[in-house]
Amino acid sequence: MRIDIATVPGDPRRPNEDFVAVAGEVVVVLDGVTPPPDGVTGCVHDVPWFVARLGASAVERASTGPRSDLAECLAGAIETTAAAHRDTCDLAHPRTPQATVAMLRWDADLVEHLVLSDAAVLLDGPAVTPILDTTLTDVLARDDVRAAHGRVYRELIEGLRNVDGGFFTAAADPAVVARAITGSTPRSEVHGAAALTDGVTRWVEAFGAGDWSGLCEQLGKRGCSAVIDEIRRYEAADPDGVRYPRGKRHDDATAVYVDFDS
Ligand SMILES: [Zn+2]
């Protein structure tokens, strides 16, 4: 068993809004959603405050105490985090702090996974199985969204955040875990597993450097840090997103690769 981790801020002058933790046989990766340009979120806390609480609570719940499934662990973590600022902040604000989530947990028999929003899990077995929540991709592919620009586009996307027909993140409502992609795989069928934020999935989805199998192979063989370095080179070669359209020039990038066989 070997676990490789890399997390790199998109901009060295800004705090990394990704969170990653490994405890025993649990991995939790979060990508805190960057606040809107006007900074109005209804919350007095910043994104690192939010992801640290949510992530730490998710790790604790998944790794200790009575065993409950990963969705229950995440729901409890969302509730605990909400309780920490319900008195000071407007948690009903659509831009209340929120995060995308990828979780892994394993034992001798099973490898469990959970994905919410555009984080990802890759299960590395005889074939590589990407575990993806495509609701945000589906929203971005809608005709009305594709036709919109500027402020209209931003308002349209904001209106689809955590509402039916839109896309979902871990914010202040624990019921969101019903939207997560969850499952388990016999451990004997998996020799590795990766948990990634979208700063790393862009290796496939924005830059087309390879498919999910290729990304999994690179993470396992060259290591998470080398893959993020490669992503930074693609970003630097296309700083304005002309050749490879993407939301941000650089994004916080986090990868964990669990090698069950070594
Ligand atoms: Zn707050």
Q: What pLDDT score was predicted for residue 122?
A: 98
Q: What pLDDT score was predicted for residue 48?
A: 94
Q: How far is the CA of 85 from the centre of ligand 1 (A)?
A: 5
Q: How far is the CA of 196 from the centre of ligand 1 (A)?
A: 26
- Structural contact between residues 103 and 182, judged by C-beta atoms closer than 8 angstroms: no
Q: What pLDDT score was predicted for residue 154?
A: 85
Domain 2-259: give its CATH superfamily.
PPM-type phosphatase domain (3.60.40.10)
Give CA–CA dist 84/88, Å, rounded: 9
Return the domain boundaries, the chain: 2-259
Low-confidence ranges of the chain (pLDDT < 70): none
How many residues appear in the chain? Answer: 262
Question: What is the C-alpha radius of gyration for the chain, rounded to an integer number of angstroms?
Answer: 18
Q: How far is the CA of 54 from the centre of ligand 1 (A)?
A: 12
> Positive or negative, the Cα torsion across 142, 146, 147, 150?
positive
Question: Among residues 16, 25, 176, which one has the least CA distance to residue 112?
Answer: 25
Q: How far is the CA of 55 from the centre of ligand 1 (A)?
A: 15
Q: How far is the CA of 45 from the centre of ligand 1 (A)?
A: 4
Q: How far is the CA of 43 from the centre of ligand 1 (A)?
A: 4
Give CA–CA dist 207/215, Å, rounded: 12
Give CA–CA dist 158/167, Å, rounded: 10
Q: What pLDDT score was predicted for residue 42?
A: 95
